[in-house]
Amino acid sequence: TPTVRLEGVGKTYQTGTVAVEALKEVSLDVYAGDYLAIMGPSGSGKSTLMNILGCLDRPTAGRYLLDGQDVATLDDRQLARIRNSKLGFVFQNFQLLPRVDALNNVELPMIYAGINAKERQRRAESALTRVGLVERMGHKPNELSGGQKQRVAIARALVNQPLLLLADEPTGNLDSKTSIEIMEIFQALNNEGTTIIMITHEPDIAAYARTVVTCRDGRITLQRGHSE
Ligand code: ADP
Ligand code: ADP
């Protein structure tokens, strides 16, 4: 079973009398262990695609199967549970809780998942160790650099052992040296089996992925390396 299967996915936004077809007939299989970069100009449909993959939005045509399950059959509560348990998210602006330390930020998805405090702490420390930040676990976001914040966000994305890590411009707010460090973490995670889909504008960043997909006018084109 592919981790992700998109079958002729379309997305039309209806605003008043104007319909914008943001995605057209997008078909794509992503298997466990794949690492995709999605590139494309502004307005090409990348965010729309990411919102569908992340179960924040539903296609208006076609089907999205996540781990073999048709997302259209799920209600909002089930989708919320899937987002927390099967998906990990990394954002351009980190999206950490500002008032709590790194350890508590990383524990958050496990609180939603109902995991007990002792196990939460154990797993959060383990995930922070993997991203090389365990010695900063008591620091709040404003006491961390951009790269360190993104490492916390990556640790948070991993703690529920997601099927898929979704990253939206993960290096968009980082300098080149820090971006490379974050890409090296992604590469190590992918080498250990983590499946990754990442949006990026930067060819140097896309070059880290095994597969590059270009989005243009709502259609995707494979650039290189896909397993099909
Ligand atoms: P990208 O992420 O590549 O910049 P988007 O997915 O944001 O592309 O946008 C694709 C197209 O869909 C654009 O024409 C955009 O204006 C339109 N669009 C995106 N979101 C909405 C929305 N919520 N309502 C109406 N149109 C939208
Ligand atoms: P577990 O409780 O499953 O044994 P660990 O304590 O080993 O988890 O690791 C904490 C978190 O770090 C896990 O929830 C998992 O998401 C992630 N993790 C640790 N090791 C790996 C690995 N080799 N591959 C993928 N994810 C890992």
**In this predicted structure, what is the pLDDT of residue 225?**
63
220 burial level (CB within 10 Å; 0-12, 13-18, 19+): buried
Q: Is the CB of 54 under 6 A from ligand 1?
A: no
Q: What pLDDT band is residue 228 in, cutting at 50, 70 and 90?
A: very low
Ligand 1 centre and the CA of 168: distance in Å?
15
* % residues pLDDT > 90 (the chain): 97
Q: Is the CB of 200 under 6 A from ligand 1?
A: no
118 burial level (CB within 10 Å; 0-12, 13-18, 19+): exposed
Residue 9's contacts (CB-CB under 8 Å, 6 or more residues apart) are: 23, 25, 26, 27, 52, 59, 61, 62, 63, 64
pLDDT tens, position by position, 18-71: 999 999 999 999 999 999 999 999 999 999 999 999 999 999 999 999 999 999
Enter the pTM of the model.
0.90
pLDDT tens, position by position, 75-88: 999 999 999 999 99
Q: What is the average pLDDT across 102-130? A: 97
Q: Is the CB of 121 under 6 A from ligand 2?
A: no
Which residue's alpha carbon is at the smallest distance from atom 1 of ligand 1?
43
Mean pLDDT estimate for the chain: 95
The closest ligand to the CA of 119 turns out to be 2
Ligand 1 centre and the CA of 59: distance in Å?
13
Residue 226 pLDDT exceeds 70? no
**In this predicted structure, what is the pLDDT of residue 94?**
98
Q: Is the CB of 127 under 6 A from ligand 2?
A: yes
User: Candidates 110, 112, 161: which one to mutate for ligand 2, based on the most atoms within 8 Å of Cβ?
Assistant: 161
Ligand 2, closest atom to CA 125? Answer: 10
Pair 66, 86: CB distance under 8 Å? yes
Q: Is the CB of 75 under 6 A from ligand 2?
A: no
pLDDT tens, position by position, 145-191: 999 999 999 999 999 999 999 999 999 999 999 999 999 999 999 99
